[in-house]
Amino acid sequence: MTQQLKKVPLNQLHEEELKAKMVEFAGFWMPVRYSSDKDEHMTVRQAVGVFDVSHMGEFFITGDKALELIQYVSANDASTLPIGKAQYSYFPNGKGGIVDDLLVYHLGEKEYMMVVNAANIEKDWQWIQTQNQNIGATLTNRSDEFCLFAVQGPYAANTLQKLTETALADMPYYAITRTTFAGIPNIMLASTGYTKKGSGSFEVFVPQAEAYQVWKKIFEAGAEWGIKPIGLGARDTLRLEMGYCLYGNDITDHTSPIEAGLGWVTKFTKNFIDADLFKKQKEEGISKKLVAFRMVEKGIPRSHYPICDANGNTIGEVTSGTISPVLNIGIGMGYVNTTHNALNTEVFVKIREQLHKAIIVKPPFVD
Amino acid sequence: MNFPDNLKYTQEHEWIRVEGDVAIVGITAFAQNELGDIVYVDINSVGQSLAQNEVFGTIEAVKTVSDLYLPIAAEIVEINPELQENPQLVNEDPYGKGWLVKVAPKNLDDINQLMDAATYQGKL
C-alpha cells in the first residue's frame, strides 16, 4: 500500500526559501536539517530555535463525557489535571502494548486537546473513536487546521514575549493558555516541548492561514538572539539527551509501558484499558526494562545494536542512540534484562561485532 | 559543490588521487553534504589488502552510519590521524584535510577505470 506523502502547510518555506534538506518522516515530507545537525542542536541548547512540527495531530475531546473517555483510553489520571495545564500520557492498546504517547491539554470546562504523533494520527483516531462508541464524548480531529511551532531554548521566552502580553516568565512548565499572539486573538500557547524540562519550552498552535506571517514575526523577534530553524535531526538528538522516548523506537505496539518506565504516568486510581494487566506486571515484576546508557569507550550506539554482558552474551537491544552534541560521547536507550538494569551497571554495546563498554545512567544526560 | 578534475570518483561517492606510488582516498563533497555532520570515522583495516569495492571502514554522521568502499584493489597503509579527534574535517575539507586513508594500489592503472569529475557529477 503506498500512501500519499503529506506536506506541512509551510513546505515551500522550508524547502525553497530556507533550502532545508527534506526527508520522508511519518508519512510527511519534513525538513531534517537546515544547516548542520550539531549547530542546530547547540542553537536550541544555548539560544533559541524553531521547529515546524505541524505534522503532529490535534484531537479535541469535549462535552459531558470528555473526561470519562480520556480516563478510559489513556493511562495517566486526567481528573487531577487543572484547566490550563498539560500532562504526558499514553494509549494502552488492549494487548499490553502502546498505541501512541501523547500530551493531554485541559483547555477549558469539559474541553481537552490531545496532541499525538504524526505517524499515528489515523491509527489513534480510529482507536479512540472505537473506544468512544459506548461513552459518547464529542471528538474532533483538527490535525489539518493547525500549524504547530515549537520555540525552544533559553531565549525562547524573551523571543515570544515580544509577541504577546501573557507573562511567559510566570507560565509554569506544562501549561497552556489562549492569548493574543502576534496580533492574532485566541491563539493556543503552551509551555511544553521535547527538548528540555522546565523553562525555555514553548509551543504555539497557529491557524494555517496565519502561519507564514507568524513564523516571520517569531524570527524577527528572535533575531537578536540568533534564532534559527531546527530540523528533525536535531529534534532527535535533543530529545535523546533528555532521555525522552520516541514512539516507534523506544515504545511501540509491542512494548509494555511498565517495561518502558512509564509507570509514573500509569495511574491505578481509575479504570482504563489494560489496567489489570499493567498492575499485574508492576506487582509481579518484569523481565526487561528500558534504560539509558552512555558510552565509556568510543563508539556510537544505534537502534537494534545488541547490548551484551562482559562475556558477550546478549542481554538487550538498543532502541535509540546517537552521539550527544553537548557531551560529545555516545548515548542511548535500550531494553535490558532486569538482571542488568541497575544504575551504574557496566554493559557492552556490540558495534560491528566488537564490544564497546557503556554504563547505565539516570537520564537526562545533560542538565 | 566542488568536484576537482584531478581526482577519480566512484558510484559510492569516494574519490581517489594518485601521489607517487600511493593513492589517497576520501569521500566527495556530495557525500559529506548528504551525511551531515561527521562525528566518527571508524577504520581498522590498516595493513589489510582489500579488493575493489570491499568495505574498509565506516563513517558516522549524527543520524547515519555508512560503509566506506575501496575504489580499487589496494593495501591500506595509513589512516588520516587527524580524524580521530576532528572528524568534522571530512565536512570542512573533504578533498584536503578530510582525506580518509592512504593506500598502496595493487595496480595503479586500475584507477583509470573510475569516473572523471564530469562523469561523476553527471550521475548526481
Looking at the structure, give the CATH architecture of the domain made up of residues A6-56+145-241.
Answer: 2-Layer Sandwich (3.30)
The answer to whether residues A184 and A226 touch, using CB atoms and an 8 Å cutoff, is no
Flag if A352 and B40 touch (Cβ within 8 Å): no
**CATH number of the domain enclosing B76:** 2.40.50.100
Query: Which are the contacts of B45, defined by CB distance < 8 A and separation ≥ 6?
Result: B56, B57, B76, B101
Into which CATH architecture does domain A243-361 fall?
Beta Barrel (2.40)
Cβ neighbours of A38 in B, within 8 Å: 37, 39, 62
Quote the domain boundaries for residue B106.
8-119
- The answer to whether residue B20 sits within a structural domain is yes
Search chain B and give the residue with CA nearest A331. B62
pLDDT digits (tens, 9 = 90+) for A87-126: 999 999 999 999 999 999 999 999 999 999 999 999 999 9
User: Is residue B2 included in any domain, yes or no?
Assistant: no
* ipTM computed for the complex: 0.87
Where do the domains of chain A lie?
6-56+145-241, 57-141, 243-361
Find residue A331's DSSP bridge partners.
A294, A322
Contact B37 A38 (CB under 8 A): yes
pLDDT at A2 over 70: no
Nearest to residue A29, comparing CAs of A8, A48, A52, A45?
A8
Residue A367 confidence (pLDDT): 86
Residue B72 belongs to a domain: yes
Whether residues B36 and A36 touch (CB distance < 8 A) is answered with yes
The reply to whether omega before B71 is within 30° of 0 (cis) is: no
pLDDT at A17 over 60: yes
Whole-number pLDDT of residue A250: 98
Query: Which of A21, A233, A299 shows the shortest C-beta gap to B62?
Result: A233
Please say if the pLDDT value at position A1 is more than 50: no
Shortest Cα distance from B83 to chain A (angstroms)?
13
Residues 6+ apart with CB under 8 A from B35: B59, B61, B64, B66
B19 inside domain: yes
Q: What gap in Å lies between CA A280 and CA A200, rounded to an integer?
A: 39
Residues whose CB falls within 8 Å of the CB of residue A312, separated by 6 or more in sequence, listed in order: A348, A350, A355
- Kindly state the average pLDDT of the residues A196-223: 96
* Residue B84: inside a domain: yes
Contacts of A303 in chain B (CB under 8 A): none
At A198 the pLDDT is 87
What does chain B come to in residues?
124
For position A3, what pLDDT does the model report?
62
Q: A273, A72 in Cβ contact below 8 A?
A: yes
* Strands B55-61 and A111-116, bridge-based pairing: unpaired
- pLDDT tens digits, A152-202: 999 999 999 999 999 999 999 999 999 999 999 999 999 999 999 888 999
Predicted confidence (pLDDT) at residue B22 exceeds the cutoff of 60: yes
Q: Tens digit of pLDDT for each residue in A30-60?
A: 999 999 999 999 999 999 999 999 999 999 9
A38 → chain B, closest CA residue: B37
| Model confidence pLDDT, tens digit, residues B86-116 | 999 999 999 999 999 999 999 999 999 999 9
DSSP H helices, chain A, are: 11-12, 37-46, 66-73, 121-131, 156-161, 208-222, 232-242, 275-284
pLDDT tens-digit series, residues A222-246: 999 999 999 999 999 999 999 999 9
Find where cell 534504560 sits: A291
CATH number of A57-141: 3.30.70.1400
Contact flag B62-A237 (C-beta cutoff 8 Å): yes
How far is residue A191 from each of residues A196, A222, A255, measured CA to CA in Å?
11, 17, 29
Burial A331-344 (b: 16+ CB within 10 A, else e): bbbbbbbeebbeee
Q: Read off the amino acid at residue A245.
A: C
How would you classify the pairing of strands A111-116 and A98-108?
A: antiparallel
% of residues, chain B, pLDDT over 70: 100
Q: What residues in chain A have their Cβ under 8 A from chain B's Cβ atoms?
A: 21, 32-33, 36-39, 233, 236-237, 298-300, 302, 322-323, 325, 352
Cα of B41 to nearest chain A Cα, Å: 10
What is the three-state SS of A298-327? CCCCCCCCEEECCCCCEEEEEEEEEECCCC
- Alpha carbon distance A331, A241 (integer Å): 8
What's the count of helices (H) and strands (E) in chain A, helices before strands? 8, 20
Task: Give the three-state DSSP class for B122.
Answer: helix
How many structural domains compose chain B? 1
pLDDT score of A4: 78
Provide DSSP, A62-89: ESTTHHHHHHHHSSS-GGG--TTBEEEE
For chain B, the average pLDDT equals: 96
Angle (deg, nearest 10), helices A37-46 and A232-242: 50
Give the cell for residue A304. Answer: 537494534
The pLDDT score that the predictor gives to residue A138 is 98
Q: Are strands A288-295 and A184-190 parallel, antiparallel or unpaired?
A: unpaired
Nearest Cβ partner of A322 from B58, B62, B91?
Answer: B62
Residue B1 lies in a domain: no
Asked if domains A6-56+145-241 and A57-141 share a fold, the reply is no
Length of chain A in terms of residues written: 367
* Interchain proximity A37–B37, CB inside 8 Å: yes
Closest partner CB to B62 (pick from A37, A298, A352): A37
